[in-house]
Amino acid sequence: MSVSIDASRCIQCHRCVAVCICNVFQPGSGVPVVMDERRKNCMHCGHCAAVCPSQAITLDGRSSGDLLPIPASRLDDEARAALFTARRSIRLYKPEPIERTLLEKALRLASYAPTARNAREVHWTILNGREKLLPVLEQAAEALACSTDSRYQKILSRVRQGEDVILRGAPCLIVAHAAPWRWAEADCSAAISYMELALHSFGVGTCWSGMVINAARLKPLSALQLPEGHVMYAGLMAGMPAIDYTRIPYREPAGVTWI
Ligand SMILES: Cc1cc2nc3c(=O)[nH]c(=O)nc-3n(C[C@H](O)[C@H](O)[C@H](O)COP(=O)(O)O)c2cc1C
């Protein structure tokens, strides 16, 4: 890890010291000192450089002055509602694949999802084009047929009769996967939630593909072509919505205990 502080720019505000949870900087007065023996603890979260008001920090070769500034405007109430409450789980899709540039933009946004210890070990596999999803559909239906869950028993015959009760006719499947470790599922779930909101903001419909996740738990789905040792922890079917919703369904506020 390489972090350096340009003493000629540093205003000695010590914000970098305050935000670093890895204690890479020596507490005290004056220009903060990077403790050599703590460098290995750095999780490369970039907070030190992002919080520096005088662009004095260079982390991993990137100067804080080159980082994007925080946008001045926050979401207004309408934009916030459009983002959070108008998102729906879409199960009726237009057949065309999703424009690749939209997927790339959404992936870029999803890379800002939090990850435990800033591990950033979420990987993506995107099958874009209905014909690429058909082998997944067949394998998932076969895997679910092995389940003891009675709800899954009839799925294989329904799929073979042409009823896509698993992927809902979606033209795209987005899989978040990782090598197993303590926080892999949490990291993939957070990333897919960012992805879902990002795609919604571009007008792309999505729906969590819990049935594919369950199927992959029962039997490896070779059609997903995941790297050796990786597990599918989260996934979305996606596509342009075939119909529009006009209203927001009512949601009871979640239970909360105030202490
Ligand atoms: C972990 C998880 C798994 C889900 N799996 C499926 C699924 O396999 N098929 C499906 O049609 N919807 C699935 N959903 C979507 C939920 O049914 C949906 O979020 C819920 O009914 C609320 O609707 P809304 O998302 O439009 O608010 C899943 C959602 C989550 C969070």
Which domains, from first to last, does the chain contain?
A: 3-66 (3.30.70.20), 77-239 (3.40.109.10)
Residue closest by Cα to atom 21 of ligand 1: 89
Q: Kindly report, residue by residue over 97-122, the tens digit of the pLDDT.
A: 999 999 999 999 999 999 999 999 99
In the chain, count of helices (H) and strands (E)? 8, 9
pTM of the model: 0.96
Predicted local confidence at residue 27, as pLDDT: 82
Verify whether ligand 1 is closer than 6 Å to residue 208 (CB atom).
yes
Q: Which of 84, 89, 155, 174 to mutate to test the pocket of ligand 1 (most atoms within 8 A of CB)?
A: 89
Q: Kindly report, residue by residue over 16-62, the tens digit of the pLDDT.
A: 999 999 999 998 899 999 999 999 999 999 999 999 999 999 999 99
User: Cα dist. 6→9, 34, 132 in Å?
Assistant: 6, 12, 52
Return the ligand 1 atom nearest residue 189 CA: 1
How far from chain centre, in Å, is Cα 229? Answer: 20
CA-wise closest residue to 24 among 57, 54, 68, 53: 57
Verify whether ligand 1 is closer than 6 Å to residue 85 (CB atom).
no
Verify whether ligand 1 is closer than 6 Å to residue 212 (CB atom).
no
User: Cα dist. 182→30, 44, 116, 117, 121 in Å?
Assistant: 39, 19, 9, 11, 12
Sorting pLDDT into bands at 50, 70 and 90, what band is 11? Answer: very high
Verify whether ligand 1 is closer than 6 Å to residue 88 (CB atom).
yes
User: Cα dist. 236→37, 87, 91, 239, 252 in Å?
Assistant: 43, 14, 11, 10, 25
Residue closest by Cα to atom 28 of ligand 1: 208
